[in-house]
Amino acid sequence: MPSPGSRRGRDLKAILLEHGIALAREGGPDAVSLRDVQRRAGVSNSAAYRHYADRDALLVAISEHASAQMAREMEEQMASAERQVATAEPGGEPGESARRRARARFRATGNAYIAFAMAEPGLFAVAMHPGAVAPKEEPGPDDRGPGDPGPHQLLVSCVDELVTTGVLAAERRAFTDVAAWAAVHGLAVLLLDGPLSELGTEESHGAIDRLLDLVDAGLR
């Protein structure tokens, strides 16, 4: 059974991360500092540094949390898209249902990616921040296990499914995940901080749908 001291250590690490996440939500990576985190937690610098050696280590932990949350939301939209295909009118050529399912799941990853960026711009910015990408030294509280892939792994699995169902020719498989990622990321940035940030909700959704239509058409 863990000692009270070890439990307190894990609790403090989680508390520090919670405050870091809150700061990231408020202002992205620039708003995150160990000094502010330890002040909010009411602990000394030495106590905070025992869990996060520097700001970059804290950013990595926040990025992992953001990626895990994005992956969960992607999975939810993928499952919803799959249910919609399952309840649609059957018919078509053999294998058509599997192809519709693959295309719907693939589209859902892009839709969820942009939706997460719009709903959590601060966490999204941390997840994409160069300083927040580093090898992990130990599992974090939001780490997903071997059966819980991250956002990019979910995208790759969907592209693989496009190939196995015949939607995408195998010889066109290379870099499809990269191209799709670049497309949805570019639109997300334009909607958040670029010239498209002035669009209303309806127009934004229209732009997202049109982009996903183009990506889907490009598969074939």
pTM score over 0.95: no
State residue 129's pLDDT score: 87
For residue 89, give the DSSP letter.
P
Q: Distance (Å, rounded) from C-alpha 87 to C-alpha 108?
A: 17
Residue 90 pLDDT class (50, 70, 90 cuts): low
- Cβ neighbourhood burial of 189 (10 Å; 0-12, 13-18, 19+): middle
For residue 53, give the DSSP letter.
S
Contacts 24+ apart (CB under 8 A), 29-37: 29/59, 29/125, 29/126, 29/129, 29/131, 29/132, 31/122, 32/58, 32/59, 32/62, 32/126, 34/58
Stretch 64-83: mean pLDDT, rounded?
96
Task: Return the top range by mean pLDDT from 4-18, 82-96, 163-177.
Answer: 163-177
Residue 119 has pLDDT above 50, yes or no: yes
The two structure tokens encoding residue 84: 């919609």
pLDDT-wise least confident of 94-103, 133-142, 156-165: 133-142
142-190: per-residue pLDDT in tens? 454 545 789 999 999 999 999 999 999 999 999 999 999 999 999 999 9
Residue 48 pLDDT class (50, 70, 90 cuts): confident
Question: How many Å from the N-terminal Cα to the C-terminal Cα in the chain?
Answer: 57
pLDDT higher at 137 or 167: 167
Stretch 205-214: mean pLDDT, rounded?
97
Residue 112 has pLDDT above 70, yes or no: yes
Q: Distance (Å, rounded) from C-alpha 106 to C-alpha 177?
A: 10
Region of residue 95 (phi > 0: left; psi between -120 and 50: alpha; otherwise: beta): left
State residue 193's pLDDT score: 92
Stretch 53-72: mean pLDDT, rounded?
94
| Class of domain 66-219 as given by CATH | mainly alpha
Mean pLDDT of all residues in the chain? 88
For residue 131, give the DSSP letter.
G
Distances in Å between the Cα of 137 and the Cα atoms of 2, 51, 61, 151, 191 are: 21, 12, 11, 20, 35
